[in-house]
Amino acid sequence: MLRGKVRDQVEVYDVINNRLQRRLTVPNSRRLADMTSCEHYRCVYIADCRPNVECIHRLDVQGALTRWAVKDEPCGISVNAAHNVLVTCGVVRKIKEFSSHGDLLRKLRLPGEVINPSHAIQTRDGHLIVSHGYTGDAVHRVCKISADGHDIIGSQGGQPGSDIGQYNLPRHLAVDDNEFVFVADLNNRRVALLSSTLESSRMVVSPEDLKWWPAKLCLDAQTRRLYVAVNKRTDRKLTRGRVVVFDI
């Protein structure tokens, strides 16, 4: 779990009994936007979107910390099948791929109609699943984009709304082994499940299940557990946070 505070930002829990095991500190961090893990390299990556810093922190299981510059504001990160790090840079509409130690491997500029992307995941065949749309944008949706980043080959969503198939700030994604897509639909306070082609969807976690606003997702494909990080808002400020676990 990632918390926005000065010390002990990363909390490590046992997945069997959900007990806190230890806390890890990311020094000199202020605006941590997202976190993902890599089982292959046994580390976590944390996006820091602080102005003039804009970096990725790499924290291994022993607590060793390194970081590298992104040179654009990162808003979402994921790890692909090659164990590389995909960094979504929403303001400039780019996805940057880095090696585990920060070597820039490629940059993809997304199609012009993909405004304010927040998170991207790469499927086994190289396609990119991208969520986009922010407050005031005309389009809020989830897209499947070609491996080169040039073409949209499937999508769901459009004008922001609360009907099935509509989204209001689709913030974070998770993809299972069958390439079905889970979407944290922030302002609708729910999680949607999309088919691998993005042609159909249904709600799998309701507002009544969550109570608060879902910001991040993590799917354990082996146990079929979906971890949803939710935050409570009071007077437009985030006042509390927790993780809700669902069997999928």
Residues paired with residue 2 on neighbouring β-strands, in sequence order:
10
Residue 24 has what pLDDT?
Answer: 86
Give residue 30's pLDDT: 76
Domain ranges of the chain: 10-247
Start-to-end C-alpha separation, the chain: 20
The answer, yes or no, to whether residue 240 has pLDDT greater than 90, is no
CATH of 10-247, one of 3.40.50.720, 1.10.510.10, 2.120.10.30, 2.60.40.3140: 2.120.10.30
> What gap in Å lies between CA 122 and CA 130, rounded to an integer?
9
Q: How many other CB atoms are there within 10 angstroms of residue 110's CB atom?
A: 24
Integer Cα distance of 239 and 221 in angstroms? 31
Backbone angles phi, psi at 210, to 5 degrees: -90, -40
**pLDDT for residue 15:** 85
Where does the pLDDT of residue 221 fall: very low under 50, low under 70, confident under 90, or very high at 90 and above? confident
Which pLDDT value is given to residue 212? 95
- Residue 148: the pLDDT is 93
d(CA 145, CA 107): 14
Contact 51, 42 (CB under 8 A): no
More confident residue, 44 or 3: 44
pLDDT digits (tens, 9 = 90+) for 178-219: 999 999 999 999 999 999 999 999 999 999 999 999 999 999
